[in-house]
Homo-oligomer: A and B are copies of this chain.
Amino acid sequence: MSTPPLRKDAAQNRQRIIEVARRYVDDGRLLQLNDVARTASIGVATVYRHFPTPEALLETVALPAVEKLLRRAERALAEDDPWTALRDFLAAAIEVLLTDPAVPPVFAAGTDALEHTGDLKRRLVTAFAELLARAHAAGVIDSGVAESDMTPLLCGIAYAANIQSALDPTERATLGLRYLDLLLTGLHRP
């Protein structure tokens, strides 16, 4: 089912590639397999074998953050108050999206390079759906919001915060949380 265990040197290479790619992503550089290979002092073809496309590599880089978010979602599911649960999850999502530049493109992408990525995303949506259902049941959220709005809304907020390219990552995260708050509270004061 899962990938066969890698030979030790292969595993090392794989790790090295991911580390280099991580640096690229953090620096805002474009992930180019060729480039990454050179930086990692690893043959191009080796990189291609491990990661057939830049997307596959990017998703692998984003993986830990996405998994972490999934754990936050599961923790949120354990929370009693439906509103607190939902809000905490959304805040966690924004934080992850704005803290790790590898994540937004993975979320925004319509298709996934890695099956595993799709799995995680689906489980995240499922968790959100549950949180949403509880919130709806409790009447603490607009009835028009649907499960399918999660990704767009979150990515939209992250995108909005990222437009301020002059800010540093921490400031952008703060800004994103403020935008989330605006969305939750609403701009209008009747």
| Chain A residues in the interface with B (C-beta under 8 A) | 83, 108, 110, 139-142, 144-145, 149, 151-153, 155-157, 159-161, 163-166, 175, 178-179, 182-190
Hey, which chain B residues are within 8 Å of A108, CB to CB? Answer: 163
Q: In the complex this chain forms, how many copies of it are found? A: 4
Report if A142-B189 is in contact (Cβ < 8 Å); known contacts: A152-B164, A163-B155. yes
Hey, which chain B residues are within 8 Å of A139, CB to CB? Answer: 189
CA distance A149 to B190 in the complex (A): 20
A189 to B: closest C-beta gap in Å: 5
A30 to B: closest C-beta gap in Å: 15
A162 to B: closest C-beta gap in Å: 9
Selected from B141, B159, B185, the residue in CB contact (under 8 A) with A156 is B159
Q: Which 8 A-B pairs have the closest CB atoms?
A: A186-B186, A156-B160, A152-B160, A156-B156, A159-B159, A152-B163, A185-B186, A184-B188
| B184, A145: Cβ atoms closer than 8 Å | no
